[in-house]
Amino acid sequence: MQDDLYLTTDEAAAYLRLKERKLYELVAEEAIPCSKVTGKWLFPRAALDRWVAAGLARPAGFVAEAPPPIVGGSHDPLLEWALRQSGSGLALLSEGSEAGLDRLERNEVAAAGIHLHGTGDDETANAAAVAARSGLHDAVVLGFARREQGFLVAPGNPLTIGSLADVDRRTARIGLRPAGAGAQLLLEAIAARAEIPLDRLTRSATPYPTGPDLAVAIRAGEIDCGIATRAVADLNGLGFVPLTWERFDLVLRRRSYFEPAFQRLTAFLRQPAFAARAAALGGYDVAEAGVVRLNR
């Protein structure tokens, strides 16, 4: 069987261990996720996984094990502050967007902060990535903020960096982030659009886990630049070269959304104090904070 996103009728029947006749009956009853393209039925593998999981029989009294009260994924200064000020009781474990989603799938964190990028539409990248993961068939994506990402540089921008092409021409030392981190994905997307191979750049020997780690390295003279948010630049007294605005969202299980910790957090996101803090940090738009962007 092909390891594709979409399965043909015979592949879907084999995948579900059904006879093709039974599969056609389910299609006719509109009881199974499928789509007809150029006269042929196609079955999204991820949707089939969710369909099967939705019908799982569980013993009476079965309760899913609660995840630890931790928000994994990407680091964000405003999120770190909001978790404390809201009295949510949630801790922060910052490892990068994709690492956070991996931990959420394994029930090792209660939520993940993500900001994903690619060569396509970054506005929908977060929701699309969650929808593509069969292990997150019960996920909710909450809007947290839109935030400004760019190059962090030394005060005064002594190398006059304005783009990745400038980083390349000036052989400026650029700090990398871990594989799967949102900032690293953004760097890779920018490099692809500019047709600049990353291995041609003068890169840091090891990646920096978070934006604040990157900022410390620039202040210490270890590197000349790297990608992080405007808020991180301002908090560390660094220069900032804007590149893009991005969505920073929270992903959690539907059952976790109704737990007291996240109810306290989402209520706090609607308070004037949250908007005031975002304005003070700079580089945030919190108009959609707490809005459900995807409910699977």
- The more confident residue out of 14 and 154 is 154
Position 40, amino acid? K
CATH number for the domain that contains residue 158: 3.40.190.290
50 lies in the same domain as 159: no
Single residue among 33, 54, 75 that ends a domain in this structure: 54
What is the pLDDT at residue 2? 41
pLDDT tens readout for residues 40-89:
898 888 778 767 766 655 555 545 678 999 999 999 999 999 999 999 99
Domain contains 184 = yes
pLDDT band at 293 (very low <50, low <70, confident <90, very high): very high
For the cut 50, the answer to whether the pLDDT of residue 112 exceeds it is: yes
77 lies in the same domain as 41: no
Domain residues for 16?
A: 6-54
Of 117, 273, 262, 181, the residue nearest 292 (C-alpha): 262
Domain count, the chain: 2
Q: What is the pTM of this model?
A: 0.79
**Which residues does residue 148 pair with via DSSP β-bridges, in sequence order?**
245
153 lies in the same domain as 250: yes
pLDDT tens readout for residues 172-185:
999 999 999 999 99
Query: Could you tell me what percent of the chain has a pLDDT over 70?
Result: 94
Neighbouring CB atoms inside 10 A of 230's CB total 21
Residue 132 and residue 135: Cα distance in Å, rounded?
A: 9
User: Could you tell me the strand order of the sheet in which 35-37 lies?
Assistant: 6-7, 40-44, 35-37
173 lies in the same domain as 244: yes
12 lies in the same domain as 138: no
Cα→Cα distances 40→19, 106, 163, 224, 258, Å: 17, 35, 47, 54, 41
- Angle at which helix 272-281 crosses helix 77-85, to 10 degrees, equals 150
48 lies in the same domain as 69: no
pLDDT band at 223 (very low <50, low <70, confident <90, very high): very high
